[in-house]
Structure 1
Amino acid sequence: MGKVLGEKSRDWLCRRAAEFSSIPVEDLKVVSDTTEFMNIHRGHILELDGRHFLVTGYIYEARFGLSDEPKYWVKKAIDLEAGSQQIVKLSHREEFHMRIGRLRIRCYRNPHKEAQVLELVRGNPNFMQGYSLFDGRGNEVRVVDIIRGKSIYDVILNMNTTHEEYFYGPFPGILRKVAGCIASLQFLHDHNLCHGDIRNDHILIEQDTGLYRWIDFDLTQDFSDLDIWSVGNILQFCVGMGMKTFREVLQSDDYPASVKNDLCADDASAFYEHRIMNLQKLFPYIPDSLNDILLHFAVNTNRFYTSISQIVSDIDATLEEMSSPTDTRP
C-alpha cells in the first residue's frame, strides 16, 4: 500500500505538509493503492494521478444518532499541490436493499456514476463540485470541494417555533428554494443519470450564499424512479417541520384526541410506513394543493408522479396559491 520516496520528493512533500498542517510527517507514508481504505489514516499521503493529498481526518455520518460514526472511505484531506482543503471519497463497494411498500430495491455504491454526475454538473451551483482521479490500482477516487454550511435537516429541526409560526413564516421561502433544488434533478434524469441518495441531510445550505446544494451521488439502484419517490421524503420533512411519525403524534399531548383517532393506515408514507404523509390531518391550515402533492407519496396512492418536472410544476402552483392574500388559518 505504501512506498518509499526519493529524497527530493520526500523533502517537497514534507515541506508542503508542514506548510498546510501541523501533522507530523517524520514517518512519511505515501499510499498509491487505496483499496484497503480502513488502513489509511491521518498523516498518510494519497498519490492519485500524480497529485498528492495529505489525509487529515474522516467525514462522520451526520444524522440519526450516528454523528460519532466515521465514514472510513471518505477522508478529509489537503491537496498538497494547490493547498486547498478537500473531501476525498475512496472506492467503496457497499451493497444493501431497501423497500418502498412491497418493492425490494437493490442499492449499491458506484464510484464511476458519481464521477459522471460530477462531470455533468460542473459549474452548476445546485450540486457539489469535484472531479475524479485514479490511484495506482485503478480505483476511481472523487475529490470534492467542501461546502461550508448546514443541512436542511439540521436547519429545520433546530427551529425554535411552533409549526403554525413556521408554516406562515419561513416555510414558503424554504419550499421555494427546495423546489429549485429538486428541479435541478431533472437535468440528471435528462442525461440518464440519477442522484440515488436523496435525503434531508444531502441538501446543504451554503453559509455564504444561501444556495441549496445537493451532495453525495455515489449510490445507485436498479429502480429508475427512486429519486422521484425520495423527493416525497424531502417534502414530508419540510412541510411537517420534521419527520412526523404515528408514534410521535399518538404519544404527544400537542394533538387532540380527535386528530389521533382520525389517523389511519392510508395516511402513511409509501417509503416509510411509520411516517405520516397526510399532514393536513395534523395541520388543517395546509392547503389542499400542497397536501395533494404529499398524497402522491402515500402508501395506497393510485396517482403517481412520473417525472421531477411534474412535482416541481405542482409545487410552483401551490406556492403561487400560498402567496395570495388569503389566509387559511382556522
Structure 2
Amino acid sequence: MKTWRNVLLLLAVLVSVNIVAKPKIRIIATGGTIAGVSASSTSSAYTAGQVGVQTLIDAVPQMLYLADISGEQLVNIGSQDMNDQVWLKLSKRINELLNKEGYDGVVITHGTDTMEETAYFLNLTVKSNKPVILVGSMRSSTAISADGPGNLYAGVAAAASPNTKGRGVLCCMNNRLIYAKDVIKVHTTDVATFEAANAGPVGYVYNGEAHYFTKPEALHTTQSEFDVTNLEKLPQVGIVYGYANCSPLPFQAFVDAKFDGVVLAGVGDGNFYHEVFDVAVKARQKGINVVRSSRCPTGPTCLNGEVDDEKYEFVAALDQNPQKARVLLMLALTKTRDWKQIQEYFKKY
C-alpha cells in the first residue's frame, strides 16, 4: 500500500514540474452564449458571440492543471447562425489538429441552439478516435452564476481523460456527458437543458475526472464512411413541420427550389397530412429524397409503420429527430441518392 502511495506522489510531483507531459488540448471557439455579454448581470437579454477565446481561457485558470491549453477563434456567432460552411471548416480543422498537429483532444465552445446538430455532424465527419467535446452555456459570461466557466472546465477534463478516447463526439453541459447521436436541447433557458431523451446521459465529470457508464453503439468518427475533406458545400436539405390541417406550400417550395432532400417533422410516427403526402410522393418521382421523422421528442419513426415506406420509397428516420435526420441525409447524399442505401445509413448511424 505504501509503495503505491509513493508512486502516486512521484507522479504528482513529475506532473507539477512538467516532466510528465499533460494532454495537449486545443479549444476552438465559435461564439454562442458562453461568449455572450449582457447589459445587466440579472437580465436574460444578451448579445451572443462577443468574448474572444483567450478571455474564455483566462477565466478558467484551473484548466491549466488538467492540460496544456491553447485556443483559436474559428468564428464568433450565435449558434442560430450556424451554417454548412462553418461545419465544413470546423470538421476539417479538427482533423488537422488531431491527425497532423499532435493535439490529444479538442474542446469546442458553441451556442446551445444548434449544438446538437454540430455535434452530430462532427460525429460523422471527424476522422480520429481522440476526444472531441462540445461545451456551451445557458447564461451569458456576465450573468450572475454564469455556467460557462464550469462547463468549459468540465469539457477540458473530459477531453484530457484517457477514458474518453474512442467514444466519438460528446456534449458536456451541467457536468453531464452525452453522446452526439443522442443529445437534444429540451428547455429554452434552464442550465440543465441538454438530455438524451431516449438513452440518458452516458457519464459525468466530477472533481476534474470523466466517468462513463456505457460505450456508443452506433458507428461514428473513424468508423464513419462520410468524408468532407474535399467538399466545399453540402447538398441542400430542408425540414417541413407537420401539424393539423398542414399546408403543402412549404414542402412544395423546397421541391420548386430543387432541393436535394426534404425531412418531414411529421406528427406521431412520422405521419403526413394528406395534401403534404401528395407533394412528398411527387417529390420522390422527381428524385428528391424524403425522410420521415417526427415532431415528438422521444421514440422512433418506424420503418413501414403506418406509412408504407417501401411502396413510396421514403426513408424512415428511426431514432433521429428532424434536425439530426437532416444532417445525416445531407451527408448521405454526398455518397448516393439511392433511398435504400440511405435507409441503411439511418440504421447504422
The answer to whether TM tops 0.5 is no
Normalised by the length of structure 2, the TM-score is 0.28
Higher alpha-carbon Rg: 1
Normalised by the length of structure 1, the TM-score is 0.29
